[in-house]
Structure 1
């Protein structure tokens, strides 16, 4: 499909407000070829897919569209590769597991991890999450001006995932640093020195969790790490493979850590901005806390903290009338799909009572549906209920100064200051 539409995902104006650009793409070029080099996909043809129905179709077609897309950052130079190898000489190899694998290996990982990361284990966290939220609001003191990201949006998901992984309080700052380093190069350019520093943090994280896993072998507990260590497939699982080895467990722990912290913090910040900008919704929530799940779902649709992931085309194909050759990279744009007016009426409006709300794909769809979705929802709903009970009014300080980070994949505010009053 020929079109005059142009789109640079790394342009700051696009990063700050991509939705008009997304609409133009959906209307005029639902499959648009981009500059692969600017996205860190050197020597690759990259096609952005922006309509909801096409994104959903690709997510379900794991035969044509492979998840083995590797990293989203530029390939290291020989010099940088040598430096990274020197750092990781005492580490464990990086392996593909849940996010970047296809069936049948993905099926094996999903089954094994699901044995440890169960709905029961997540639901049991609700009292702890409520107490964490209460404590975080207590820590606001009587201040009328609150740095919401630093004092709530970041600490809550860090504490939640740290609770699952049983990270002691004294290591929480390290845990946050490890999570930051794990996503440092996703959707943004960083220097060689920054990549080496991030690799050192990842090495430190590996050693910490290998020690924790060794401790569970000697002294099993009723916790996620023990269950992950002991998970085994049976004939009923209808998939072959043994228990997870150490590199596989480290990969899964790292994915849970990142998915459970970065994107949830971004969701919480955007959620509060929307409620501040829609005081009627805030008042309705205060009067009826049972609305919290609907408000969270609309925030997920509106914000889509993960703006989309890549797939590798395994055979010549066609999407929305556009031929896409084998070997190409497809960027499936969750953020655009969730603002598609073919599915959502008045998509730029924040409306928790909208129809088809559950059609959003902020957590993906199909076999790669986010394993941590239940946890993210529980965190956000619990946070809303606590804040609705504790805070009277909220407003954004200098809303015109709000800025999103430079990543075109992980969309999140850099800073959010709120004026609040208390009940």
Structure 2
């Protein structure tokens, strides 16, 4: 990694406390006050990439690994655990030819053409949920809306009954606590994985005898061709759930909450629906869910002038990078007219760039489209309550007041 940056020793990097209340409240204000010649800082958990360039440089490099093994070890799972083995052998963590085969196999469900076919499915799911709300009554979208849409869509994609969506939603919530790297979540993750693995195996048995037009049936066909194994089918269906449900729900809730605080943008989305994609992505930039993205340095390497030893944890601070003026001019202004803005970092970069980003975007766009068609006078009826920072921010309570159109 060649750079024009001056050499800065690891011990000379500035320090940052990413667990402080000040950082939780306004991370971009904290990082803007830190003078770092290469956009790096030290924290109690490793190295932090404070700028778009520093975060992008490492996230897009093939040498650091994604760090699932560290996450699961920190949550109390060793290499003998089925939970650990499922995580490190899934598409999210594998590399090389095996990762390429799995990515190509699953890629058919993330092409632009296929994803566009999901728009009416997402809208139908959202309409059914919204039809159950009392018109004009404030709605806590965090508990009553955003979690239900990705889980029902996932059920549809894998050929599961829609009645299983609540189980899938709760299971995804539990599995993703592993990102907090806290041994206190060991039992929650272990129980959730055992339940999901059994569920997926039952689903496989059903699809073997009664195949359909769904992800599981397709993966079983690929298994029969010899390109993947039964283990690949099981762990990657569980990985898709983990990646597609809770994280999408959290980001969707943050996007809706952000737009609810901008009634002028909300009304423009209603009158000019063509701006909805730009409004969604600007809201993602402004209030991102994935605050920090882990990579583990596998070999001694030079990161923008700083020698970093193997085994170091690196965190790309997307929440700060998204307010970097070098990447986003006028970064503290919510703008719908950004011309070809840099991609946000919350879906990662490089070989492990999130396959599910196009589906997540479609889900958010269609839900915003439907809400702006039905609701006006939107506002946060109570202050937004979030949790999970500085790893994954998600709304716990997002009470939206509105008037029916």
* TM-score normalized with structure 2 length: 0.88
**What is the number of equivalent residue pairs in this alignment?**
396
Q: Retained in 1: the 8 A contact 2:171–2:192?
A: yes
Q: Which residue in 2 is equivalent to 1:420?
A: 402
Root mean square deviation, CA, Å? 2.8
Partner of 1:34: 43
Task: Give the one of 85, 95, 105 matched to 1:112.
Answer: 105
Instruction: Give the counterpart of 2:31 among 15, 19, 22.
Output: 22
**Residue in 1 that maps onto 2:309:** 325
Question: How much has 1:380 moved relative to structure 2?
Answer: 0.8
Q: Using the TM superposition, give the Cα deviation of residue 305 of structure 1 relative to its aligned residue in structure 2, in angstroms.
A: 1.4
In structure 2, distance between residues paired with 1:67 and 1:81: 17
| Higher mean C-alpha displacement, 116-125 vs 294-303 | 116-125
Q: Does 1:230 align with 2:221?
A: yes
| Displacement after TM superposition at 1:316 (Å) | 2.2
Given the superposition, is the C-alpha separation of residues 115 and 243 from structure 1 closer, same or farther in structure 2, using an over 3 Å criterion?
farther
Return the offset for 1:116.
Answer: 4.9
Provide Cα deviations, 1:285-331, integer angstroms capped at 9, x if missing partner.
11111111111111222222122322222332222322212232221
1:358 Cα offset (Å): 4.2
- Which of these residues, 3, 6, 18, is aligned with residue 15 of structure 2? 6
Where does residue 148 of structure 1 map in the other structure?
141
Q: How far does residue 76 in structure 1 lie from its aligned partner after superposition?
A: 5.4
Give me the whole-angstrom Cα distance separating, in 1, the residues matched to 2:280 and 2:35: 25
TM-score of the two chains, using structure 1 as the length reference:
0.85
Supply the distance in 2 between the matched residues of 1:233 and 1:213 (Cα, whole angstroms).
Answer: 13
C-alpha spacing 1:76/1:190, structure 2 compared with 1 (3 Å) = closer
Using a 3 Å threshold, how does the CA distance of structure 1 residues 254 and 302 change in structure 2: closer, same or farther? farther
| Counterpart position of 2:3 | none
**Superposed displacement of residue 183, structure 1:** 0.8
Moved over 6 A (4+): none
Aligned to 1:41: none
Q: Label 1:219 to 1:351 Cα distance change in 2 as closer, same or farther (>3 A).
A: same
| 1:6 CA drift (Å) | 3.3
Q: CA, structure 1 residues 406+364, in 2 after alignment: closer, same or farther (shift >3 Å)? A: closer
Q: Which runs of 5+ in 2 are unaligned?
A: 1-7
> Structure 2 residue aligned with 1:378, among 344, 347, 362?
362
Secondary structure of residue in 2 paired with 1:404: strand
Structure 1: runs of 5+ lacking an equivalent: 37-45, 235-241
Q: Measure, in 2, the Cα distance between the counterparts of 1:24 and 1:136.
A: 44
Q: How many angstroms does 1:203 deviate by?
A: 0.6
Aligned to 1:57: 57
